[in-house]
Structure 1
Amino acid sequence: MVLNVLFVDFYDSFTYNLVSLIRDQGQHVTIIHFDSYGEDIERFWKDLQCFDCIVLGPGPGNPENGFPDVGFMEQLFVRQVDLPVLGVCLGFQLMCKSVGCTIEQLPSIKHGQVYDVKLSSGAETAGSLFEGYPSSFKSVRYHSLHVNCKNSDVSRIVPLAFTDDEGGTVLMSVQVANKPWFGVQYHPESCCSELGGKLIENFLKITERHKQARVRASESSDLSTAQGVIRNLDQTIDKSSIYQKQDLQAQNIQIEEIPIEPCTLLALQICNLLTEPFFLMSSSTIHENRGEFSIIALPNERSTVYTHYDQVHRTLVHQWRDQRITLEGFASAAETGLSCDGVDIINQSKHEFWKTLGTFMQPKMMANNPDIPFIGGLVGVLGYEMGQFTVHDREGKLVPDAKMVYVENSVVVDYQKGVLMLISLNNKFPENARSAVMKIVQGSKPGTRLPQLPDGVEYDITMPTKESYVRAYNKSQSYLNKGDSYEVCLTTQTRVVPSKRIEPWRIFQTLICRNPAPFSSFFEFTDIKPGHSDLCLLSTSPERFLKWDADTCELRPIKGTVKKDGNTTRELATKILKTPKEFGENLMILDLIRNDLYELLDVVTVDELMSVEEYATVYQLVSVVKGHGLRQAPYSGIDLLQHSLPPGSMTGAPKRKTVELLHDEIEKELNSHISPTSARGVYSGVTGYMSCNDRGDWSVNIRCMFSYDNARTWRLGAGGAVTVLSTLEGEWQEMLTKLESALQVFQN
């Protein structure tokens, strides 16, 4: 029997993990947001008759706040809905409040912590929600609030489970007496929760029995009407793909392979000899599954450039260094939208920008060389404000939020295989670039002298004040305690102004040698005029955001940091990183990422759970999440990229609510010394490529610096995850540690 399940989403970042447990049972799930019906409760009540049960998901907020946080969902219980209901976390609290319980602050808040859940006597009997359960099992808690039923009519509440907390016993599950209404405070969908699938299986069995017992005279005659209602509601949340995938054909492209001795300085040496512009995505450390390749992308006059300004909802499209375009004309076109020779101006939202990229890339996709990471395609930078829920306010200077360049010629260095490849989509790899490559490959071994910045340059460095950081930290803790967020990724920005301009390439070489990382990037966008860039990014990022091929994708979230010094061993770092605070930080983002993938894919796995990785200046806690079945899905890699931005490791959870709090309240004053808005810009965005052979790889823009004014001024971002287990001094020092990894190049 296939059941029709209505899932009510409170804009949580764990929703689709729970939905996946239901779909794994072969049931049809229709998802709506709690405010999808506005205030039209009568239409909602009518549509409910088409479903067999209701699941009220988790989410931020407090049922005591009423309509702003939960809409009219409490009316499900006030009006005595004749359907089985399962409430999880917020949904559980909402159900309990409706029958007289009070919702109170939890004495000891739990976000991302694993606890033993113990069943009440008789809770595991046949036909119950916990049928087949042991008397105790482990599950993950994400809650600042809890249900107090001591002052309610306890005859209406049947306690099913509890946990022992520092403040005493905390209710973990109940049933409303004489009703098929159940709830759990813990999160059965977390990857560290036990028996989550069993809970859903038992609830669906209860639903089946309830459905068989229901007698509705109109049931058979209204079947077609019910199916129509469900089909319409299934479209409530847009899940359309950016473009329709087609069967790919192989194309004739030029690939020349040259054996090499693997060395991470090889790509740098090649770039030093190039006379044409280049972008570099370089691994300066070699590891299995990260840092296997370096890619040099070579734009030319055939390269199409896409620049999006979300402040004015506008995209400019032109060819690389089109001689008809002037710097003044391009800037005016971006600001005003008025015509400019050589530039196509598209007035569009960032959502439509993704459609523009997809329309451009679709006919260029091919079935060539699926084992090569990049054969040509779009490369570039996507800022934080290109993500979902983010806003780039109009105040302040107009700056690009995205720059993507189509590249036909590239050099790919495979360190694992010891091979360098010269690749050309148009079968015309530039001879001068090939000559530069051969000089390095056939020349002497790389030198060991580290590059330095020029002497005699002074640097005006402006950091956020400790006082402003304290205020932002305290605001974060306030929202965490109220249940509006589980984790707040609080970030700062620092400005560096050299007394004279230094070439970005020289700064990058210094940075990459002092802070080697698997996902280093050099992007100087001189797409209008040589020697002038409206965006330049220098990154030594340790964090992969998203990699994909035709069938799978991978994310490697980093949360949890320990600074390396003379006394820090890997063993000690591991001990620190496995404490409840660091564990909780990583788990929350890990579950958030699973949710983002489950929204588009059916199979998601956690292939590494909180491994400790060593970098030049820090130890980090890293997990690996993979999505499978992309080949059969209607979605492509660009859908996954758009849908998952901004990176959860740079926002916190739940993503939507936390992003809003960061923008509206927390970071505005903290970074006012940089900008009058809360925009992060390039920092916290991603950098990488979409290759024509249906592959992509993107890193998170951290441990980086960027400039919007031709490298006269640099901005550096740094931050960390604030949780209820954080300390002010600990977070401040972690922020400084991360800032130092990039700032060090200006301080010696």
Structure 2
Amino acid sequence: MTIQRPRLLLIDSYDSFTFNLSALFRIAVPGCTVHIIHNDRLTINGLLPLLKYFSAIIIGPGPGSPDLPRDIGIVKDIWKLSESHLLPIFGVCLGFQSMVIEHGGTLKRLNTVKHGQVSEILHTCKDIFRDLDKITAVRYHSLYVEPHSEEIEPLAWALDEGENGMVLMAARHTSRPFWGVQYHPESVLTDSGGMQILRNFWVLADEWSRKQGRSLSGLDPTAMEILGHAWPHLDSSTFLSTPVDPMPMVLTSVVQMPGVSVINICEMLGVEDHASPFILLDSAAKTGRFSIIASILPVSPQIMYSVGDPNVMLKRGSSFTYEPLPDMDIWTWISRFMHDAGAYQGRPEVPFWGGLIGSLSYELGVHSLDVPLRHNRREKNPHYDVNLVYIQRSLVVDTVEEKVYIQSLLQDDFAWINHIFSGLCSLSKRRSTDTDSATMKCNLTQVHLPDRASYISNIHKAQEFLRSGDSYELCLTTHTRISSPRSLSSWERYKALRRSNPAPYSAYLRFNSATFLSSSPERFLSYSRPPASQCQLRPIKGTIRKGPGVTRAHAEQALRGSPKEVAENLMIVDLIRHDLHGVLGLDVDVTQFCAIEEYETVWQMVSVIEGRLPSGTKRRDVGWEVLKRSLPPGSMTGAPKKRSVEILQTLENEDRSLYSGVFGYWCVGGGGDWSVAIRSCFKNESESEQAQNSDSMENWVIGAGGAITALSDSEGEWNEMLLKLESVLGCFGASKARG
């Protein structure tokens, strides 16, 4: 039978780089399609009848060890295929290690772990390395293999002088069509040799198949039911396309306000009435520009949901309704909620016209990974995993152009717009009162730090998981609890936080069920309005405080010159590329890698990853789908994400809750912007509960932590966690974390 298009089967061992590898093969093998299945999806007997449909098998990387059944799954059996089922196979990292040990090799631990490290690859210049000269490639491994059989022919090595010596980097089977590499050809920092070895593999695989007279069968419905769609596949459900009903027009009025003060506008709008909810997404420092102030109506729908609940709770004023989730998850329910919420004729330069604003917890992302949550979590974590308000009236402050956009999705809402317009005009004539009006009562504030010995013990446990190959990096976090006098309102605390640690993604979210203050420096995901939507993620790994002599050149040397800092950033960049490829397909690029950006109080190392939606996509919620598939933020978990999150669930003894989740908006125009909930704090009671509470103290929670690598020093990591706390402690009058 004539093969029109090569068809590849990629075995995924629950890795966070799988879609990067799939994308690279899609480019390297012209016209190919790629089907992806997990390594525990089928038994070997279930897989054998499907092999006739494939040109080759790709066995990808993954966490763990190739000699543990739970980590390797079906892979160990694939190397034992009979001659009648034989086909070309290419293994990467874990897949490569499995190939070698299943043919007599031994598995060992590296003396010095190589996670996110770039090495020169020394090779034989033949076979899959034909026509290749010098290669530099990224390594993610703590285990390595040594062949002890003539069946395995070494093809490449890395020389780790003074560390691991000569480490095998590639090999082939001498009589069967098996090849593999230890390094990661799909990493963004692996050079062109990554692509070329895949092309060379395909040439050799195709030659072998032709000599064997091997041909493919066309996929039948039974096989499609087992394998599913080829990657990438984007569901084009019609109910998520453009709404059929006429959309409302965005009513907009613009006020020019030189020296505009976001704080003053909020106070004009009643933020100091703590019995009412209030929402501010605040660009309080560069590189931020737009601040969004929601004008919440008494009947504005508030969506509240906790993972595991059978219903979504909708609150309108004092009225509550419950909607069941019989055949969908919460993400789909919110997509349907937003389906008929489109609008038109909003100002294109304004990022938010109206829509959903709020927070999504870390545990919502954990659940999306099919990782079990704690059984008693609601007893210790009263916050909802989804807490969103649908906003129809808003003010958007452009701090660059010094304009305020007054907007409403309500038709004939001119009276409100005129009222706000008049208020802003009067406000612009008054001098800004954004000053330090609060005196912190730090002598009464109690800071309850986490147990130092336990945290350091968890660092050591995390490093053992890194050495065993279960993770490349683990973002270990913990909670600090604050008891502080009620004499200072949450708004005054936010203003203090804004003064002491201004940040481009700050927020003041006061719901009926939670109060959340943030001075986050990190945007997580933004997506522009369709059509031609673009998704962008901006992970931060690497921070140095400003100070005397800390110039840009000094920051460049301290951050970009540090293999540890660059490795942390690289791992998250590769993970995010995988998340984007998983939804958007091939069109994903790293447009900025480890650039040094200046902020108010720090220099930070920031990368930018962008992806574009497939042309002709009709769905308006693809950005929402990217958000679902990207949580929890990789910068707050480590990689591979699923296994790292599973490990962190055992190391951390309570929910992270709002910390490590995201907050932001989904605009009715289709765009969205979500930030990582770091440098933040939240309290476990609403403002209305506070008013009724006779206790003179209120309790707040601050989350902090850091990325643990094999090179981490436990004392240094503890001190870094304390340093991160200090950026928030200032709003409680306790500027230093003593531990």
Give TM-score scaled by structure 2 length. 0.89
Question: Quick check: 1:692 aligned with 2:668?
Answer: yes
Equivalent residue in structure 1 for 2:438, among 452, 455, 463: 452
Letter in 1 for 2:583: L
Note if 1:131 corresponds to 2:130.
yes
Instruction: Describe the superposition over 1:672-693 as per-residue Cα deviations: whole angstroms up to 9, x where unpaired.
Output: xxxxxx3100000000000011
1:554 matches 2:539: no
Question: Structure 1 366/3 Cα, relative in aligned 2: closer, same or farther at 3 Å?
Answer: farther
> 5 Å matches for 1:617-636?
617-630=601-614, 632-633=616-617, 636=622
Which amino acid is the alignment partner of residue 337 of structure 2?
F
Q: In 2, distance between residues paired with 1:692 and 1:89? A: 44
Given that 2:25 and 2:198 are in contact with CA atoms closer than 8 Å, whether structure 1 keeps it comes out as yes
Instruction: Kindly state the Cα deviation for residue 417 of structure 1 after the two structures are TM-superposed.
Output: 3.2
Letter in 1 for 2:110: L
Give the Cα–Cα distance (whole angstroms) in 2 for the partners of residues 718 and 436 of structure 1: 40
Corresponding position of 1:346:
324
**Aligned counterpart, 1:506:** 492
CA contact (8 A) 1:258 1:421 kept: yes
Contact 1:453 1:507 in 2 (8 A): no
- Decide whether aligned partners of structure 1 residues 479 and 548 sit closer, same or farther in structure 2, where only a CA change above 3 A counts: same
Look up the SS of the partner of 1:223 in the other structure: coil
1:381 equivalent in structure 2: 359
How far apart, in 1, do the equivalents of 2:543 and 2:615 lie?
Answer: 36
- Pick from 47, 51, 71 the counterpart of residue 50 of structure 2: 47
> Per-residue displacement from partner, 1:11-59 (whole Å, max 9, x unpaired)?
100110010011223310000000011xx32111111221110000000
Cα displacement (A) at 1:82: 1.2
For structure 2, the residue ranges without an aligned partner over 5 or more in a row are 272-276, 688-697
Q: What's the offset of the Cα at 1:438?
A: 2.6
Q: Determine helix, strand or coil for the equivalent of 2:329.
A: helix
Tell whether the 8 Å contact from 1:592 to 1:653 is kept in structure 2 after alignment: yes
Deviates more, 1:562-571 or 1:586-595: 562-571
Picking from 717, 720, 727, the partner of 1:731 is 717
Amino acid at match of 2:554: L
SS at match of 1:201: helix
Counterparts of 1:638-657 in structure 2 under 5 Å? Answer: 638-657=624-643
CA distance in 2, matches of 1:577, 1:102: 37
Separation in 2, partners of 1:262, 1:355: 42
Distance change (3 Å), C-alpha of 1:223 and 1:697? closer
Change in CA separation of 1:35 and 1:730 when aligned onto 2, cut-off 3 Å = same
Q: How does 1:250-649 map to 2 (within 5 A)?
A: 251-261=248-258, 263=260, 266-275=261-270, 277-287=277-287, 291-310=288-307, 312-319=309-316, 321-322=317-318, 325=319, 342-346=320-324, 352-369=329-346, 370-387=348-365, 388-389=368-369, 390-395=371-376, 396-397=379-380, 398-427=382-411, 428=413, 430=416, 432-440=419-427, 442-447=428-433, 449-455=435-441, 458-500=444-486, 502-526=488-512, 534-549=513-528, 550=530, 551-566=533-548, 568-578=550-560, 579-601=562-584, 602-630=586-614, 632-633=616-617, 636-649=622-635
1:700-721 CA deviation, whole Å, 9 max, x = no partner?
A: 0000001121263110011111
SS of 2:53's equivalent in the other structure is coil
Q: 2:36 aligns with which of 13, 21, 31?
A: 31
Code of the residue aligned with 2:436 in structure 1: it is: L
The answer to whether the 8 Å contact 1:296/1:411 transfers is yes
Give 1:613 shift. Answer: 2.1
Q: Which runs of 5+ in 1 are unaligned?
A: 326-341, 527-533, 669-677
Q: Secondary structure at the match of 2:550?
A: coil
Distance in 2 separating the partners of 1:313 and 1:715: 28
Shift of 1:367: 4.5
Give the Cα–Cα distance (whole angstroms) in 1 for the partners of residues 374 and 219 of structure 2.
Answer: 47
The CA distance in 2 between the partners of 1:658 and 1:562, in whole Å, is 26
Question: Which amino acid counterpart does residue 576 of structure 2 have in structure 1?
Answer: I
SS of the residue 1:509 aligns to: helix
Report SS of the residue matched to 1:598.
helix
Deviation at 1:231, TM superposition (A): 5.8
Instruction: Provide the rounded CA distance (Å) in 2 between the counterparts of 1:210 and 1:393.
Output: 51
For the residue of structure 2 that corresponds to 1:360, the secondary structure is: helix
Q: Secondary structure of the equivalent of 2:280?
A: strand
In 2: Cα distance, 1:455 partner to 1:464 partner: 22
The one-letter amino acid paired with 1:100 is G
- Displacement of 1:363 in angstroms is 1.3
Instruction: State the Cα deviation string for residues 127-153 of structure 1 (Å, max 9, x = none).
Output: x3122211x21110000000112xx12
Q: Deviation of residue 565 (structure 1)? A: 3.9
CA RMSD, Structure 1 to Structure 2 (Å) = 2.3
Percent of aligned pairs sharing the same letter: 36
Matching residue of 1:671: none
Decide whether the 8 Å contact of 1:292 with 1:414 is kept in 2: yes
Secondary structure of the structure 2 residue equivalent to 1:68: helix
Letter in 1 for 2:130: E
Q: Secondary structure at the match of 2:191?
A: coil
| Counterpart residue type for residue 464 of structure 1 | P
CA pair 518-293 structure 1, distance change in 2 beyond 3 A: same
- CA shift in 2, pair 1:372/1:620, >3 Å: same
Matched residues in 1 for 2:307 and 2:155: separation?
50
Q: Residue 95 of structure 2 is aligned with which of 86, 91, 96?
A: 91
CA separation of 1:206 and 1:315: change in aligned 2, threshold 3 A: same
Output the amino acid matched with 2:334: L
Please tell me the residue identity of whatever aligns with 1:275: G
Please name the residue that 1:701 is paired with.
677
- CA–CA separation in structure 1 for the residues paired with 2:461 and 2:542: 21
CA distance in 1, matches of 2:437, 2:106: 64
Number of residue equivalences? 689
Separation in structure 2 between the aligned mates of residue 599 and residue 283 of structure 1, nearest angstrom: 30
Amino acid across the alignment from 1:593? I
Displacement after TM superposition at 1:229 (Å)? 1.2
Report the CA distance shift for 1:453/1:714 in structure 2 as closer, same or farther (over 3 A).
farther
- 1:172 deviates by 0.5
1:204-250 C-alpha deviation (Å, 9 max, x unpaired): 2223223333336xx68x5353x751464025999647875434676
TM-score by length of 1: 0.88
What amino acid maps onto 1:362 in structure 2? H
The separation in 1 between residues aligned to 2:470 and 2:145, in whole angstroms, is: 17
Instruction: Tell me, yes or no, if the aligned pair for 1:617 and 1:741 is still in contact at 8 Å.
Output: no
Is 230-239 or 464-473 further displaced after alignment? 230-239
Shift of 1:563: 3.1
1:531 is matched with which residue? none
User: C-alpha separation between the residues in 2 aligned to 1:469 and 1:450?
Assistant: 35
* Cα pair 1:307 1:402 within 8 Å, conserved: yes
CA distance in structure 1 between the aligned counterparts of 2:23 and 2:588, rounded to whole angstroms: 9
